[in-house]
Amino acid sequence: MTDLIRRVRPGDEAELTAMIHELAQFEHASDECAVTETQLRQALFGDTPTVYGHLAEVDGEVAAGALWFRNFSTWDGVAGIYLEDLYVRPRFRRRGLARRFLATLARECVDNGYTRLSWAVLNWNVDAIALYDAVGGTPQTEWTTYRVSGPELSALAAEL
């Protein structure tokens, strides 16, 4: 069997969109996932890309995907990478693909002078947490993640 991790390219939107919806189902949040191929195509390949990605292929079949974007550290004064989603389809798990994705993104950081690779994980995803611990990831327990979306986002914007 041959494994390949490569940058996404036009035409990969269908597989990526399908995997995003598979991930939402895995995370028990299918009702919150509404992304379309068109949206993903624009985000990845539009005039101003807002997300980047990699795919893993096993014997030519799409097995996994990772979507990420650049962020900025005001303390370091340089960019980093935030891994938004990493998903390995169930039948391809335990092959080391997730670890290879992390290594690929670490290489992207090092090659570009970025100082951080960051991500979030659901507290109940013990398999992912074990991997992240194994690669030297450090939980940022002193920070609490916040989000405003939906009606609350609209209400906040309406304050202006």
Instruction: Give the pair of three-digit tokens for residue 134.
Output: 């194994």
**What is the domain partition of the chain in residue ranges?**
3-157
The predicted-structure confidence for 52-98, as pLDDT tens digits, reads as follows 999 999 999 999 999 999 999 999 999 999 999 999 999 999 999 99
pLDDT at residue 150 above 80? yes
Most confident of 40-44, 142-146, 153-157: 40-44
125-135 mean pLDDT: 93
The predicted-structure confidence for 107-117, as pLDDT tens digits, reads as follows 999 999 999 99
DSSP letters along 92-134, please? GTTSSHHHHHHHHHHHHHHHHT---EEE---TT-HHHHHHHHH
- Give the model's confidence band at 1: pLDDT under 50 very low, under 70 low, under 90 confident, else very high: low
Which sign, positive or negative, has the C-alpha torsion 150, 152, 157, 158?
Answer: positive
CA distance 72 to 113: 12
Looking at residue 145, its pLDDT comes to 86
Looking at residue 2, its pLDDT comes to 78
pTM of the predicted structure, to 2 decimals: 0.92
Give the CATH class of 3-157.
Answer: alpha beta
